[in-house]
């Protein structure tokens, strides 16, 4: 009979006290799945259509103006994809009046998103998002059916909103966001005559939660709970988990002494982003903002601290670039 105890002693002595089976971890079954390569979800880069959720607060709503968009950017996108957006934005009276696309997808252009509060056409980071999705090949330049690929953006974003309050399971925005997403996913299914999937949820929120210590301290757990509940709530409409990419805070970035406390508060939320994505697993990754990038974005702020057109383009590009890295595209 094999004496496993003596064999174990012999093997560990011969291998410098490290087991070559578990590599010293004491555990097995740690290999990455060869089918999904550790992602746990699939991205069909050769699909005919793609769906993205855009959610968050005022900089996801966007205070950029359509007239400032560069025509070369519009031409680049229009030549490569048909892009549509449905939106429900700014229910908060503190920000601007509520505006929606009427539960319809509108062609993305200079005059797609109307701002009732600003009484003008505005945009968020969606243009930078689509640009980078096409540049990185997350969305192909030609669909298998011979047509341009279709990109559907479902935007639900509310200014001055907190993950601890309005976006919590007890708050109004969580349920409205899920209901809006479900409704627009049904529209995609009808338009494409196919079962839709969400290719990513892009999240730009957290400034409001940075203002209060209890909200900052709870942000990691709140975000993990929020994403898991969104995955669960939408799993009957599309496969889950789908990728989740939050953008680090950088609003009102400054090196002045008067703003050091504010930046430390934002750093606390950014740390929560990283920790939450670690808990959520391979489907989640934070879009990080370096100090140099933050300064560049800050140079394109409006006087009220919101991102202008150029800053929103950069934010969108970073969100989509992080998704491309996550998908290894």
Per residue in 243-257, pLDDT (tens digit) is 999 999 986 544 455
How many whole angstroms separate alpha carbon 307 and alpha carbon 67? 15
Q: Which of 32, 54, 88 is nearest to 199 (CA)?
A: 54
Q: What is the pLDDT of residue 286?
A: 98
Percent above pLDDT 70 for the chain:
81
| CA-to-CA dists, residue 311 to 86, 111, 241, angstroms | 22, 19, 30
Highest mean pLDDT among 115-119, 160-164, 255-259, 305-309: 160-164
What does the pLDDT average to over 16-22? Answer: 54
Higher pLDDT, 16 or 160: 160
Question: What number does CATH give the domain 44-326?
Answer: 3.40.50.1110
| Residue 12 in this model has a pLDDT that exceeds 50 | no
What residue segments make up the domains of the chain, in order of their start? 44-326
What does the pLDDT average to over 259-277? Answer: 88
What does the pLDDT average to over 303-328? Answer: 90
Contact (Cβ atoms closer than 8 angstroms) between residue 249 and residue 266: yes
pTM of the model: 0.85
pLDDT tens for each residue of 63-89: 899 899 999 999 999 999 999 999 999
């Amino acid at each position: 009979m094999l004496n496993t105890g003596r064999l174990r002693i012999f093997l560990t002595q011969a291998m410098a006290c490290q087991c070559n089976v578990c590599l010293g971890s004491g555990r097995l079954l740690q290999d990455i799945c060869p089918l999904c390569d550790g992602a746990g979800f699939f991205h069909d880069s050769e699909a005919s259509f793609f769906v993205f959720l855009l959610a968050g607060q005022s900089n996801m709503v966007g205070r950029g103006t359509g007239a400032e968009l560069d025509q070369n950017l519009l031409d680049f996108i229009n030549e490569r994809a048909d892009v549509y957006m449905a939106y429900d934005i700014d229910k908060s009276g503190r920000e601007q009046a509520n505006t929606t696309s009427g539960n319809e997808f509108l062609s993305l252009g200079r005059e797609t998103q109307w701002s009732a509060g600003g009484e003008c056409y505005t945009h968020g980071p969606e243009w930078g998002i689509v640009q980078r999705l096409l540049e990185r090949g997350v969305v192909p330049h030609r669909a298998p059916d011979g047509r341009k690929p279709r990109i559907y953006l479902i935007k639900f974003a509310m200014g001055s909103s907190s993950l601890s309050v309005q976006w919590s399971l007890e708050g109004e925005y969580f349920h409205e966001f899920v209901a809006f997403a479900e409704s627009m996913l049904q529209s995609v299914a009808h338009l494409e005559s196919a079962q839709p999937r969400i290719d990513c949820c892009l999240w730009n929120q957290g400034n409001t939660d940075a203002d209060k210590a209890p909200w900052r301290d709870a942000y990691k757990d709140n975000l993990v709970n929020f994403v898991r509940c969104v995955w669960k709530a939408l799993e009957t409409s599309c496969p889950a988990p789908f990728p989740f990419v939050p953008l680090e805070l950088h609003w009102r970035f400054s090196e002045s002494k008067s703003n050091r406390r504010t930046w430390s508060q934002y750093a606390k939320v950014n740390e929560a982003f990283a920790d939450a994505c670690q808990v959520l697993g391979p489907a989640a990754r934070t879009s990080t903002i370096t100090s140099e990038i933050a300064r560049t974005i800050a140079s394109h702020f409006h006087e009220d601290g919101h991102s202008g057109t150029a800053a929103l383009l950069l934010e969108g590009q970073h969100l989509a670039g992080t998704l491309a890295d996550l998908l290894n595209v």
